[in-house]
């Protein structure tokens, strides 16, 4: 995608999500983004439609929020977020991975880091110093210890409420960014997540 303002006949869609969006275990013509592109082209052949597949296998809502900020200057006409499975899975099955992702996101968008990024964009010397400091003080990484307990914690009413609160907050942040930037957005919770919310 060029960093230019789209023409009136351009319609650019950014699709955020996990492996379901990325198209894991599917071919090009059957992944979520390609099917969306095909449907939009059939719906209005006069539009110059393009769909960016920004799905990342194993990505959580924290990463999707970060990606949205990275893509904000590409002139998207619509943002679609098809998400929920990875948050649900890692929160209940591998909470250490979930917490590491949450901490990394909080560090990424902390006001100190954002000010530091702005200074680095204006000063090559500061950018080099910042890079060296970040390399020596790397934030939390997703745990890779094969011996850590996975999927052994009991699912309680309290944990379900904490999960829903965390997930909905990430979606509020993401949708709030789209509103501030004037980009229409669509949030599609994956079906089992909708069912979980309905049951609770």
Q: How far is residue 187's CA from residue 61's CA, in Å, rounded to a whole number?
A: 11
> SS3 of 81, please?
strand
Mean pLDDT of 18-32: 79
Q: How far is residue 200's CA from residue 160's CA, in Å, rounded to a whole number?
A: 8
* pTM of the predicted protein model: 0.76
- What strands lie across the sheet with 48-55, from one edge to the other? 48-55, 10-17, 78-83, 185-189
Band the pLDDT of 118: cuts 50, 70, 90: confident
Within 8 A by CB and 6+ apart from 10, the residues are 47, 48, 50, 75, 77
pLDDT, tens digit, 9 for 90 and up, residues 128-181: 888 888 777 776 666 676 676 666 777 788 888 998 898 999 899 999 999 999
pLDDT, tens digit, 9 for 90 and up, residues 88-114: 888 888 888 888 888 877 777 777 877
Q: How far is residue 94's CA from residue 89's CA, in Å, rounded to a whole number?
A: 7
> SS3 of 174, please?
helix
Distance in Å from the first CA to the final CA of the chain: 41
Whether the per-residue pLDDT at 5 is higher than 70: the answer is no
Query: Average pLDDT of the chain?
Result: 82
Band the pLDDT of 81: cuts 50, 70, 90: very high
Q: Percent of the chain having pLDDT more than 70?
A: 84
Q: How far is residue 86's CA from residue 98's CA, in Å, rounded to a whole number?
A: 9
CA angle 34, 36, 40 (to 5 degrees): 120
């Amino acid at each position: 995608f060029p960093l230019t303002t789209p023409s009136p006949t351009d319609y650019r869609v950014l699709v955020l999500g996990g492996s379901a969006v990325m198209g894991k275990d599917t071919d090009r013509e059957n992944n979520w983004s390609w099917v969306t592109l095909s449907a939009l082209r059939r719906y209005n052949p006069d539009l110059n439609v393009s769909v960016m597949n920004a799905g990342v296998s194993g990505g959580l809502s924290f990463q999707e929020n970060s990606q949205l900020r990275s893509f904000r200057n590409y002139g998207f006409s619509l943002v679609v977020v098809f998400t929920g499975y990875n948050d649900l899975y890692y929160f209940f099955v591998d909470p250490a991975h979930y917490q590491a992702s949450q901490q990394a996101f909080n560090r990424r968008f902390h006001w100190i880091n954002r000010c530091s990024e702005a200074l680095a964009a204006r000063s090559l010397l500061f950018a080099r110093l910042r890079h060296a400091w970040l390399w020596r003080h790397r934030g939390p990484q997703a745990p890779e210890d094969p011996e850590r307990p996975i999927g052994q914690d009991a699912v309680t009413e309290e944990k379900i409420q904490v999960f829903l609160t965390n997930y909905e907050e990430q979606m509020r942040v993401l949708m709030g960014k789209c509103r501030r930037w004037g980009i229409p957005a669509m949030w599609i919770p994956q079906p089992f997540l909708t069912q979980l919310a309905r049951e609770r």
